[in-house]
């Protein structure tokens, strides 16, 4: 069995993993042939970052998004462009193509498109005006700023298979703030879905991709999918081992609980996230009108290192 010390030694620290990989990639890039287009942007792969961090690719995507609010790749892109913006605004007559190549772009045009998309201004404009107040830089992440200090230890459950029916939307890390309005739309279906089991509601996160996008369903358990309203979606939750965390505060602080689970509990737990849906479980004590009453976060787990590379 893995000792507590060995688990601490192999802790998943997302920020340090990214910093280590950035440094290694920079050293490789420094020896690349001039003009080679497979620079830093092409060299960065989730598999490489996950290997550096010592976790699966799926765990990396879930954990990094929960802790930082960014997908791994969007964070890396935003950091490279922020450093490029600093180089352009600091004077010295830096050539835009040189800055673009240093940031991992193979052409002036590709860099300009990405720069405009990130900051809303052209790199030429920033170099000429040198005005940082016009753009919002993405600085290195400080992991512990918004974690909970008193997250209770989880209990462990062997969850049975569930059939969930409800309203589904797809979100990015940036658009997930719209989830409460999805719940408002779903309230009209509560108690009116054929074959509904009990009064517990579920917020299911699934189909997460490598950019951190995910499907989120507001739903209830049903005995079968027969006769479900055609506008509703369906998802099957498999039998699974879960770590279950209690969120007792207002619903508006749910992100802090997710950040603490992934940023504080997982690193020393000896577990990582299984590639399966994560869900919130809202019992009858939860009041959707006030956002109070508490609920549970069910996170599928497996022993750390098992099935790595998925």
**pLDDT, tens digit (0-9, with 9 covering 90-100), for 120-144:** 999 998 888 877 777 888 887 665 5
pLDDT score, position 1: 41
User: DSSP letter string over 3-53?
Assistant: -HHHHHHT---HHHHHHHHHHHHHHHHHTSPTT-S--HHHH--HHHHHHHH
Domain 155-303, CATH: 3.20.80.10
Contact 49, 100 (CB under 8 A): no
Same fold, 4-134 and 155-303: no
When pLDDT is cut at 50, 70 and 90, the band that residue 8 belongs to is very low
Contact 4, 270 (CB under 8 A): no
Range from 28-42, 203-217, 219-233 carrying the lowest mean pLDDT: 28-42
Domain 4-134, CATH: 1.10.10.60
Place of tokens 């772009």: 105
The proportion of the chain whose per-residue pLDDT surpasses 90, expressed as a percent, equals 48
**pLDDT, tens digit (0-9, with 9 covering 90-100), for 165-182:** 999 999 987 788 899 999
Average pLDDT over residues 288-304: 93
pLDDT score, position 242: 98
Q: What are the CA-CA distances from residue 241 to residues 6, 12, 157, 171, 268 (Å)?
A: 23, 21, 6, 26, 18
pLDDT of residue 308 exceeding 80: no
| Overall pTM > 0.75 | no
Average pLDDT over residues 191-197: 96
Indicate the domain borders of the chain: 4-134, 155-303
Q: How many CA atoms lie within 13 A of 217 on its CB side?
A: 23
Tell which residue, 223, 237, 220, has the closest CA to residue 167. Answer: 220
Q: Which of 3-7, 150-154, 158-162 has the highest mean pLDDT?
A: 158-162
User: Helices 57-68 and 46-53 meet at what angle, rounded to 10?
Assistant: 80
């Amino acid at each position: 069995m893995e000792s507590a010390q060995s688990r601490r030694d192999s802790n998943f620290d997302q920020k340090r993993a990214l910093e280590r990989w950035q440094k290694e990639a920079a050293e490789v890039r420094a020896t690349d042939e001039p003009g080679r287009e497979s620079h830093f942007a092409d060299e960065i792969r989730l598999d490489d970052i996950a290997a550096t961090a010592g976790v699966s690719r799926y765990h990396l995507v879930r954990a990094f998004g929960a802790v930082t609010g960014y997908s791994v790749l969007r964070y890396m892109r935003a950091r490279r462009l922020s450093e490029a913006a600093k180089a352009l605004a600091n004077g010295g007559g830096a050539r835009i193509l040189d800055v673009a190549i240093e940031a991992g772009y193979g052409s002036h045009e590709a860099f300009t498109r990405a720069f405009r998309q990130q900051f809303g201004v052209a790199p030429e404009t920033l170099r000429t005006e040198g005005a940082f107040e016009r753009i919002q830089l993405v600085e290195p992440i400080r992991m512990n700023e918004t974690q909970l200090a008193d997250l209770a230890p989880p209990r462990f459950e062997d969850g049975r298979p569930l059939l969930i029916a409800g309203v589904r939307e797809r979100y990015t890390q940036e658009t997930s703030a719209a989830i409460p309005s999805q719940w408002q739309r779903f309230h009209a279906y509560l108690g009116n879905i054929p074959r509904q089991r009990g009064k517990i509601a579920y917020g299911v996160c699934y189909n997460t991709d490598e950019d951190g996008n995910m499907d989120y369903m507001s739903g209830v358990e049903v005995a079968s999918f027969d006769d479900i309203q055609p506008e509703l979606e369906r998802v099957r939750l498999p039998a699974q081992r879960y770590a279950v965390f209690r969120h007792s505060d207002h619903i508006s602080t749910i992100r802090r609980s997710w950040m603490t689970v992934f940023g504080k509990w997982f690193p020393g737990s000896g577990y990582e996230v299984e590639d399966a849906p994560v869900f919130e479980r809202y019992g009858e004590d939860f009041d959707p009108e006030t956002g109070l009453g508490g609920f549970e976060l069910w996170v599928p787990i497996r022993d750390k290192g098992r099935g790595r590379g998925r």
